[in-house]
Amino acid sequence: MGHTLLSLLGFFLLNLLYRGQAQDAVLTIEPNWTTFFTGESVTFKCDITGDKDSDWYYTIYNQHREVFSSSKQKSRTLHSLATGDSGEYQCLFQHGGSTTSSNTIYLTVSDTPQPVLTVSPSWPSPGASVTLNCSVDHPSAGWSFYWYKAVPQKSYYSYSYELLPGSYNGTKQGLFIIDGQTHTAGYVCRAGRGDPVYYTSYSKPVFFWSGDMNSAASLTVSPDSVQHFTKTSVSLSCEGNSTEWRVMRFSQPDNLLPCSIWGTMTGSTCTITRRRLSGVFWCESETGQFSNAVNITKDDGDIILVSPVRPVAEGLPVTLSCKFKTENVYNADFYKNDKLIQNDTRRELTISAVSKSDEGFYKCKRRDSADGRTSPESWFSVKSPPGTGKDSQFPILLIVGLLCGVLLIILLLLFLYRYRKSKDSCYSRSQRTNQGPATDHMINQDEIQNMPEYSTLLHGDRCLYETIGGPVEAGNAGASNEPEESLYINVAADQ
């Protein structure tokens, strides 16, 4: 008896448990991410599985704080998330007198990330392929990447960003390859996800630099040297296809500042007013022009190596010299890539015709100084002479190809024109001259006109034959009574 009661109770409890399981109270979120960013939205969905009865009320809590009050709405959206919205979320289900709690979901809301863009190589050779690498926090958050070109803006030293073709819908990869980079140019990236797209901030602009002049813009450094003494007045002049220039300076780690901060801009010339200043300098204009870039240093030091700022073309002569802060003159040793390459009494290193192998890091050293005073090291860059480089070979080939194409078309047109003219005249002539002696290769014109694909060819041949054989025939004119319509083929065999 007691046993029966107990087992009944057990069955009842089991049944309850089973019913409880069948009626799972579930909280899900949409989109199904674990990390959100400030400004994004999230939708909470409260669901009772296995219950068609709709008389439930739902309340959503974040750590016991009511986020959405009791309502019959199953699904609620939290807009413009802030970092304070992070935490454990739960849905409370109420039906009549009973209440049930859902699973909990932990949400993290992080600050909007700022991607970091890196480029390589920073100094590409003309026409090389270059790579942009956009990296962002939470890399597995399902980002797409958007790529932009930086265009200088009038106000202060800002840029506007132009979406690059090929990244309208974003790229899945955080890498973007640009083929044929020739000039100095700046790029920016940002990431985005979701629909509508939620964007991160933009990265800082990053530049590819070209040491070589281009026709649209150029920067000249005066005096022409990579290294300068603190006392030297160094000026940077912009020239080219713009009336308004600004000179920018980049220095590690990521300092991008215009001349107005570290120098004086007069017209299109910037004079460095700081005693010490190093970095990469270039000119840019609102019309989107960027000049060649120079990497120069103005610093304390008793010795400098005077070397050209711009790459020197192969085959040209170049002279590197050693300068001393004091007026005294000393002998100097020259080093390339830390190897002594000249230690005589000349104070200059002269290369009569530079070649690619002369490229490298150069420095000079005062020979008689006990402490071995040395200049800083400078990169000496060599470029291909005009007309032989990969960059210039391509347009030349293109132009030659185009010219050949145009020439061919002209020749073809001329030929067709002449052919038409001669065909017209041949036709009338053939009626007069084709009365010459019959040869063994004769075809009736009617037969030929029934084979249209051959007729043109034959007309042509006949004309050729006539031009060659005309005079001979003319001599025999009237000697035979061949039908007027006959004509000759197989010209080569006849001649």
Residue ranges in contact with ligand NAG by CB under 6 A: 28, 32, 118, 122, 133, 135, 168-169, 175, 215-216, 241, 280, 287, 295, 378-379
Closest contact distance (angstroms) between CB of 162 and ligand NAG is 16
Closest contact distance (angstroms) between CB of 154 and ligand NAG is 15
Q: Which is nearer to ligand NAG, 379 or 454 (CB)?
A: 379
Residues 475, 437: contact at Cβ < 8 Å?
no
Closest contact distance (angstroms) between CB of 38 and ligand NAG is 21
Closest contact distance (angstroms) between CB of 133 and ligand NAG is 4
Q: Which is nearer to ligand NAG, 28 or 94 (CB)?
A: 28
Reference 67, options 11, 121, 8, 27; nearest CA is 27
Determine the Cα angle at 307 with ends 305 and 311, to 5°: 150
Closest contact distance (angstroms) between CB of 45 and ligand NAG is 9
Beta strands at 159-163 and 144-152: parallel, antiparallel or unpaired: antiparallel
Closest contact distance (angstroms) between CB of 189 and ligand NAG is 11
Q: Which is nearer to ligand NAG, 286 or 302 (CB)?
A: 286
Q: Which is nearer to ligand NAG, 69 or 103 (CB)?
A: 103
Taking the C-alpha atoms of residue 263 and residue 283, their distance in angstroms, rounded to an integer, is: 14
Q: Which is nearer to ligand NAG, 239 or 461 (CB)?
A: 239
Q: 190: Cβ–Cβ under 8 A, 6 or more apart, which residues?
A: 115, 134, 145, 146, 148, 199, 200, 201, 202, 203
Taking the C-alpha atoms of residue 432 and residue 385, their distance in angstroms, rounded to an integer, is: 66
Residues 107, 32: contact at Cβ < 8 Å?
no
Closest contact distance (angstroms) between CB of 366 and ligand NAG is 20
Closest contact distance (angstroms) between CB of 325 and ligand NAG is 20
3-state secondary structure the chain: CHHHHHHHHHHHHHHHHHHHHHCCEEEEEECCCCEEECCCCEEEEEEECCCCCCCCEEEEEECCEEEEEEECCCEEEECCCCHHHCEEEEEEEEECCEEEEEEEEEEEEECCCCCEEEEECCCCCCCEEEEEEEECCCCCCCCEEEEEEEEECCCCCCEEEEECCCCCCCECCCEEEEEEECCCEEEEEEEEECCCCEECCCCCCEEECCCCCCCCEEEEEECCCCEEECCCCCEEEEEECCCCCEEEEEECCCEEEEHHHHEEEECCEEEECCCCEEEEEEEECCCCCECCCEEEEEECCCEEEECCCCCEECCCCEEEEEEECCCCCCCEEEEECCEEEECCCCCEEEECCCCHHHCEEEEEEECCCCCCCECCCEEECEECCCCCCHHHHHHHHHHHHHHHHHHHHHHHHHHHHHHHHHHHHHHHHHHHHCCCCCCCCEEEHHHHHCCHHHHHHHHHHHHHHHHHHHHHHHHCCCCCCCCCCEEECCHHHHC
Q: Which is nearer to ligand NAG, 211 or 436 (CB)?
A: 211
Closest contact distance (angstroms) between CB of 27 and ligand NAG is 11
Closest contact distance (angstroms) between CB of 318 and ligand NAG is 17
Closest contact distance (angstroms) between CB of 131 and ligand NAG is 7
Q: Which is nearer to ligand NAG, 27 or 448 (CB)?
A: 27
Q: Which is nearer to ligand NAG, 66 or 162 (CB)?
A: 162
Closest contact distance (angstroms) between CB of 176 and ligand NAG is 11
The structure tokens 């020739």 sit at: 182
Q: Which is nearer to ligand NAG, 100 or 133 (CB)?
A: 133
Closest contact distance (angstroms) between CB of 326 and ligand NAG is 24
Q: Which is nearer to ligand NAG, 334 or 488 (CB)?
A: 334
With the CA atoms of 465, 469, 475 and 479 taken in that order, what torsion angle do they form, in degrees rounded to the nearest 10?
-40
Q: Which is nearer to ligand NAG, 191 or 448 (CB)?
A: 191
Q: Which is nearer to ligand NAG, 141 or 487 (CB)?
A: 141
Q: Which is nearer to ligand NAG, 287 or 433 (CB)?
A: 287
